[in-house]
Amino acid sequence: MTTVVHDEEQLLRARLALASEVEARCVVLSSRVVEAFLRVPRHPFVPGFYREEDGVHRPVRAGEAGWLREVYADRVLVTEVEGVHAESAGAEGVVGAPTSSSTLPSLMADMLDALDVRPGDRVLEVGTGTGYNAALLCELAGAAEVTTVDRTGPLVAVARTRLHEAGFEPTVIRADGVEGYPAGGPYDRIIATCGVRRIPRAWLEQCAPDGLIVAPVLGAIARLTKLPNGRAAGRFLARPAGFMPLRSGGEAGTETPAPTRSRTTATGPRVLDDPGFSFWADLHLAPTVTRHGHTLHDVADGSVARSEGPATVALGGPRDLWHTVEAARQSWLAHHRPRREWLTVEAGPEAQSVRYTAPAGTTVRWVL
């Protein structure tokens, strides 16, 4: 293993390069967000990450060749796989699903810009992760105003230490993110770095009137304003976004059953690779349906649909889930391929929905 020593000048150049790349990749970005990326280093929060090679996640650690270049690139860095942090992994690597990562910096910038954090705003972050985003929030709002929560004890402890060593002292709490953190509320701004289907009720309750909530909903970034009546409403950012789902206490994984039959389809699985359509398709799926790539699984009745080629879909269970994708495709094309930023989202303690209103005034509505 080759150990590379990086001096302060190299680190500064790397930070400048990342800030420039972030600014170039975002259509509109406030100068305050760009300055935050200039001032807050990323490398203290990602001393190790994984590279995936043939299904095996192999660790890359601080000081190794290529580490600094990748840390300061506009890319997602997987930092934990199946609960094993990259710093603790053996050289042979880890096989499994990523469980924590450092988000794509340009996506972080878009979300922070949408959050419109101002000095003195009280901020709640759900999903501490590495602590890097919390550090950026501290730069924008002031560390005393930032609360960040995550459900994983060791991850929270490490993030708290790294934030302290980097000169930031936000409130770092181990908590179930779906419950927010009522002791620190109400919050002027709430941001989530984990995906949800619905805005949790606790976030609505803990958001101050006229406050903002920015969170990944069904693979798109929703930006909602808290209304005087206790509800929140807003739109989606244009940029697609994939985040690990919010994990809550008591959840258990469900194994996807094997398909038992197949049929042909004119709507092949590659349509779900189109980020414009995939969001529209997800809106049509029942809340009990999970989608991983080209596989759909309804945990309620065990129905499954999985791609087996460009024109073949394998099915299992009592229902044909691929019919939903086919219907969604026809609807999307009939409405002239609406973009996610044209849709509105409304969230209340009981009901939540997404709407698309066509130029002619007709409305399509989905309940989340």
Return phi, psi of residue 117, to 5°. Answer: -75, 135
Question: What dihedral do alpha carbons 107, 109, 115, 116 form, nearest 10°?
Answer: -160
Give every CB contact of residue 242 below 8 A, 6+ residues apart in sequence: 195, 216, 219
The reply to whether 278 belongs to the active site is no
Report the C-alpha gap between 142 and 364 in whole angstroms: 42
**For residue 186, cis peptide bond before it (omega within 30 degrees of 0):** yes
d(CA 208, CA 227): 9
Q: What is the dihedral of CA 199, 203, 208, 212, to 10 degrees?
A: -40
CB atoms within 10 A of CB 71: 24
Q: If we measure between CA atoms, which residue out of 163, 246, 244 comes closest to residue 199?
A: 246
Are the beta carbons of 114 and 237 closer than 8 angstroms?
yes
Given 20, 100, 101, 102, the catalytic residue: 102
Question: Is the dihedral angle over the CA atoms 48, 71, 95, 98 positive or is it negative?
Answer: positive
Alpha-carbon 40 to chain mean position:
21
Active site residue ranges: 102
